[in-house]
C-alpha cells in the first residue's frame, strides 16, 4: 500500500487499507501508514477537503504518538495541524517535540531525530535554530542522501504553507547530479583530467550520467569514480556494437579503460539493444535519455541537475553530438558548464542507414480497464456506451490530438508527437474515469483504468492487411509491457518518458519512482514512474 501511495494510486491504496482490515489494526507501522495515506490525500487536495483530510491525518499521528511515543508521530501531527490551517496549534504541538528527551540514537536514526527537531523549530518560528539543528542532523549521517531529500521536501512544503523563503535550505541539499557530453576522440588526459577534477570539486558533483565512448566520456567517468562519485552509464545500442563503433577504433587501451569503468558503474542502461545500423538518431536519443535520468535523480534527491560539456566550440552537424546535446539541455533552462577542448577538424561522417521507412520520436500510451474480462455479456453495452464513450469524449477534446489511435475491446493505443501531450492526455483520461458512477451504470466498482506510457523512436508504416497507418517497433512494446503493471486508477511511465517530462515540464507534471516492471515473455524488468499533476 505504501508503494501504491507513492505511485499516486491513493484511492486504491486507501480502499485496500480498509479492505484488509488495517483501519482497526493497532501496531505502530499500520497506524503510521494510515496517517500517511490521509496526509497524501490532504496535500493533493484544496479547500475544505484539504482541511478535513489534514485534521484526520493529524488525529492518526497524535494517536501514534500517544501510544508509542517518539518524535515521528508528534512532529507529523504538528505539521498536519499547519496544513489544516492552524499555525498556532502547529507551534504548540511542535513545542512538545522540542521538550522530548533525547533518544540516544546513532547514524540515520539520530539524523531523523535531529531533523524532526529542526522541523519543530521552524514551526515555532526560530529559523536560525532550525538551521543549526539541520547542520547537526547532517553530521549524524552525511551520506544518507535519500533521508536528506525526504526532509528537504517536507521543509519545502512547510515553507510554501507559511510563505517562507526556501533559500535557507540550499546548504543542506545533496551533491549535484550531472549529465556529461563530450567528443569521441583520442585526447590528452593531461589536458582534460585536471579540468574535470576541478569542475567536480567546485560544483559538488557526485552523480554522473553519460555514455562511455573513447575520449572525453571515459576521462570524465574516471575522474568521477576516483572522486568517489556514482557513475551511471547510458549506451545507445547493445554493448558489443557500441564498443565496435565508439571505442575499439581508437585503440585497445580505450577498450580496457571502457571495461574498467563499466565494471565500476553504479548502473548501466541501454536506450536500445539493437546493433548499430548507421542511424545517428539512436545516439541523440541515448543522450536525451541520459539527461532525463540525471534530472529525475536530482528531483529524487531534492538537488540540482547540471550539464557538463567538453566542447570544441563547433556547431552541431547532425542530430547527435555535443552541440546538439547542449542545445537540447538549454531548452530546459538548467545550468550548463563548458570545458573547452581543442581538437582537429573532424572528418565528415557520412551515415547511410538502411531504407526501413520513416522513423520518428513519439510518446505512446496503452490503456485498458482491469476487470473488463469478467463483465457479464449484458453489462458490455453499458460499458461501451458510458465508459468507452466518455473516454472517447476526452480524447476528442484534447488540446493536442493524438497522431494515431487504435482500440480493441477495452484497450486504447494513443500516439503523440510530444511527451507532455501524452502525459496530459493520460491524466485527463484518469480524471474523467474517476468521475464515472460505475455502480449507477450497473458496473462493478472494482473496474479500474490503468495506463502505461513510453517515449522513443518508432517506425511509421502502413498495415499490409488493413492498409491503415501503423506505429510499430521495439519501443511500442516497451509501452505495452508497462501497462499491465500499473495500479488501477493510475498511470505509470518509462524512465525515458518520465525523464523528458521532468526535464521540460516539471511545472506541470510530476513523475515519482515506483519500482520495476515484472519481466514478461523475455522482456527485461524496467524502471517505472507514476504520473501526476504538479
Whether the predicted pLDDT of 317 surpasses 90: no
In a domain, 349, yes or no: no
**Distance from C-alpha of 31 to C-alpha of 234, rounded to nearest angstrom:** 41
The verdict on 187 and 82 lying in the same domain is no
**Distance from C-alpha of 232 to C-alpha of 182, rounded to nearest angstrom:** 15
Whether the predicted pLDDT of 350 surpasses 60: no
**Residue showing cell 507513492:** 6
pLDDT at 405: 95
pLDDT at 129: 96
CATH code of the domain containing 453: 3.30.70.1230
Whether the predicted pLDDT of 186 surpasses 70: no
pLDDT at 64: 94
The verdict on 378 and 291 lying in the same domain is no
The verdict on 510 and 377 lying in the same domain is yes
**Distance from C-alpha of 26 to C-alpha of 24, rounded to nearest angstrom:** 6
pLDDT at 93: 95
Mean predicted confidence (pLDDT) in 34-63: 94
Q: Which of 137-146, 191-200, 317-326 has the lowest mean pLDDT?
A: 317-326
The verdict on 405 and 506 lying in the same domain is yes
Which pLDDT tens digit goes with each residue over 408-432? Answer: 989 999 999 999 999 999 999 999 9
Minimal CA–CA distance to 134: which of 124, 316, 120?
120
Whether the predicted pLDDT of 62 surpasses 50: yes
Mean predicted confidence (pLDDT) in 183-189: 74
The verdict on 226 and 157 lying in the same domain is no
pLDDT at 105: 86
In a domain, 507, yes or no: yes
pLDDT at 345: 66
Q: Residue 300 belongs to what domain range?
A: 176-340
End of a domain among 290, 313, 340? 340
In a domain, 351, yes or no: no
Most confident of 99-108, 119-128, 337-346: 119-128
CATH code of the domain containing 76: 1.25.40.10
**Distance from C-alpha of 501 to C-alpha of 487, rounded to nearest angstrom:** 20
Whether the predicted pLDDT of 356 surpasses 80: no
pLDDT range class, residue 523, cuts 50, 70, 90: low
The verdict on 294 and 202 lying in the same domain is yes
pLDDT above 70 covers a percentage of the chain that reads 95
Find out whether 61 and 80 touch, Cβ atoms under 8 Å. Answer: yes
Which pLDDT tens digit goes with each residue over 144-173? Answer: 999 999 999 999 999 999 999 999 999 999
Find out whether 266 and 232 touch, Cβ atoms under 8 Å. Answer: yes
pLDDT at 163: 94
Per the prediction, the chain carries an average pLDDT of 90
Structural Rg of the chain based on CA atoms:
26
pLDDT at 201: 96
Whether the predicted pLDDT of 197 surpasses 90: yes
The verdict on 334 and 364 lying in the same domain is no
Name the residue with higher pLDDT: 356 or 450: 450
Name the residue with higher pLDDT: 486 or 82: 82
**Residue showing cell 540515520:** 108
End of a domain among 127, 151, 172? 172
**Distance from C-alpha of 317 to C-alpha of 350, rounded to nearest angstrom:** 11
Which pLDDT tens digit goes with each residue over 220-234? Answer: 999 999 999 999 999
pLDDT at 349: 53
In a domain, 290, yes or no: yes
Contacts of residue 235, defined as CB under 8 A and 6 or more positions apart, other chains included, come to 211, 212, 242, 268, 269, 270, 271, 286
End of a domain among 340, 372, 399? 340
Structural domains in the chain (count): 3
In a domain, 348, yes or no: no
Which pLDDT tens digit goes with each residue over 223-270? Answer: 999 999 999 999 999 999 999 999 999 999 999 999 999 999 999 999
Indicate the DSSP class of residue 175.
Answer: P
The verdict on 6 and 154 lying in the same domain is yes
**Distance from C-alpha of 235 to C-alpha of 130, rounded to nearest angstrom:** 44
The verdict on 318 and 214 lying in the same domain is yes
CATH code of the domain containing 208: 3.40.50.450
The verdict on 152 and 300 lying in the same domain is no
The SS3 assignment for 31 reads helix
Mean predicted confidence (pLDDT) in 101-118: 91
**Which pTM was predicted?**
0.86
CB neighbour class for 87 (10 Å; exposed up to 12, middle 13-18, buried from 19): middle
Mean predicted confidence (pLDDT) in 272-294: 86
pLDDT at 253: 93
The verdict on 160 and 180 lying in the same domain is no
The verdict on 192 and 266 lying in the same domain is yes
pLDDT range class, residue 355, cuts 50, 70, 90: very low
pLDDT range class, residue 518, cuts 50, 70, 90: confident
Q: Please count the other Cβ atoms lying within 10 Å of the Cβ belonging to residue 44.
A: 14
Q: Which of 179-183, 185-189, 209-213, 358-362 has the lowest mean pLDDT?
A: 185-189
In a domain, 31, yes or no: yes
In a domain, 242, yes or no: yes
In a domain, 352, yes or no: no
DSSP 271-331: S--SPP-S-THHHHHHHHHHHHHHHHHHHHTT--EEEEEEE-SPPPSSSSSHHHHHHHHHT
Amino acid at each position: 500500500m505504501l508503494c501504491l501511495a507513492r505511485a499516486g494510486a491513493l484511492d486504491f491504496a486507501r480502499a485496500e487499507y480498509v479492505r484488509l482490515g488495517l483501519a482497526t489494526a493497532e501496531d505502530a507501522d499500520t497506524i503510521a501508514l494510515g496517517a500517511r495515506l490521509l496526509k497524501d490525500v490532504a496535500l493533493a487536495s484544496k479547500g475544505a477537503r484539504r482541511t478535513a483530510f489534514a485534521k484526520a491525518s493529524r488525529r492518526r499521528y497524535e494517536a501514534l504518538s500517544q501510544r508509542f511515543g517518539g518524535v515521528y508521530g508528534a512532529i507529523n501531527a504538528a505539521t498536519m495541524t499547519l496544513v489544516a490551517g492552524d499555525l498556532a496549534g502547529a507551534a504548540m504541538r511542535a513545542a512538545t517535540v522540542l521538550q522530548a528527551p533525547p533518544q540516544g540514537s546513532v547514524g540515520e536514526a539520530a539524523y531523523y531525530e535531529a531533523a524532526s527537531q529542526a522541523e519543530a523549530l521552524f514551526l515555532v518560528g526560530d529559523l536560525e535554530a532550525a538551521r543549526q539543528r539541520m547542520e547537526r542532523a547532517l553530521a549524524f549521517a552525511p551520506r544518507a542522501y535519500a533521508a536528506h531529500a525526504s526532509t528537504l521536501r517536507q521543509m519545502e512544503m512547510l515553507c510554501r504553507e507559511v510563505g517562507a523563503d526556501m533559500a535557507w535550505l540550499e546548504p543542506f541539499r545533496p551533491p549535484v547530479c550531472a549529465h556529461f557530453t563530450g567528443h569521441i576522440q583520442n585526447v590528452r588526459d593531461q589536458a582534460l583530467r585536471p579540468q574535470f577534477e576541478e569542475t567536480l570539486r567546485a560544483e559538488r558533483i557526485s552523480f554522473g550520467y553519460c555514455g562511455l565512448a573513447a575520449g572525453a566520456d571515459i576521462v570524465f567517468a574516471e575522474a568521477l569514480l576516483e572522486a568517489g562519485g556514482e557513475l551511471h552509464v547510458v549506451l545507445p545500442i547493445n554493448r558489443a556494437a557500441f564498443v565496435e563503433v565508439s571505442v575499439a577504433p581508437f585503440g585497445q587501451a580505450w577498450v580496457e579503460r571502457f571495461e574498467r569503468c563499466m565494471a565500476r558503474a553504479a548502473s548501466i542502461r541501454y536506450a536500445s539493444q539493437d546493433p548499430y545500423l548507421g542511424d545517428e538518431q539512436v545516439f541523440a536519443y541515448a543522450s536525451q535519455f541520459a539527461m532525463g535520468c540525471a534530472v529525475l535523480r536530482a528531483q529524487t534527491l531534492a538537488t540540482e541537475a547540471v550539464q557538463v560539456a567538453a566542447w570544441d566550440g563547433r556547431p552541431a552537424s547532425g542530430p547527435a553530438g555535443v552541440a546538439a546535446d547542449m542545445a537540447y539541455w538549454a531548452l530546459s533552462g538548467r545550468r550548463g558548464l563548458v570545458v573547452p577542448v581543442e581538437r582537429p577538424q573532424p572528418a565528415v561522417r557520412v551515415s547511410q542507414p538502411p531504407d526501413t521507412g520513416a522513423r520518428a520520436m513519439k510518446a505512446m500510451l496503452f490503456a485498458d480497464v482491469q476487470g473488463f474480462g469478467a463483465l457479464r455479456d449484458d453489462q458490455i453495452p453499458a460499458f461501451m456506451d458510458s465508459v468507452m464513450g466518455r473516454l472517447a469524449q476526452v480524447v476528442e477534446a484534447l488540446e493536442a490530438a493524438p497522431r494515431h489511435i487504435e482500440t480493441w475491446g477495452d484497450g486504447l493505443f494513443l500516439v503523440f508527437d510530444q511527451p507532455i501531450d501524452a502525459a496530459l492526455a493520460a491524466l485527463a483520461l484518469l480524471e474523467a474515469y474517476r468521475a464515472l458512477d460505475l455502480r449507477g451504470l450497473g458496473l462493478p466498482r472494482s473496474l479500474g483504468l490503468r495506463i502505461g506510457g513510453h517515449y522513443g523512436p518508432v517506425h511509421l508504416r502502413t498495415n499490409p492487411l488493413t492498409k491503415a497507418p501503423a506505429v510499430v517497433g521495439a519501443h511500442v512494446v516497451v509501452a505495452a509491457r508497462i501497462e499491465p503493471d500499473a495500479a488501477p486508477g493510475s498511470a505509470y511511465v518509462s524512465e525515458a518518458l518520465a525523464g523528458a517530462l521532468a526535464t521540460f515540464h516539471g511545472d506541470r507534471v510530476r513523475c515519482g519512482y515506483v519500482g520495476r516492471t515484472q519481466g514478461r515473455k523475455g522482456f527485461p524488468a524496467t524502471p517505472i514512474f507514476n504520473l501526476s499533476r504538479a
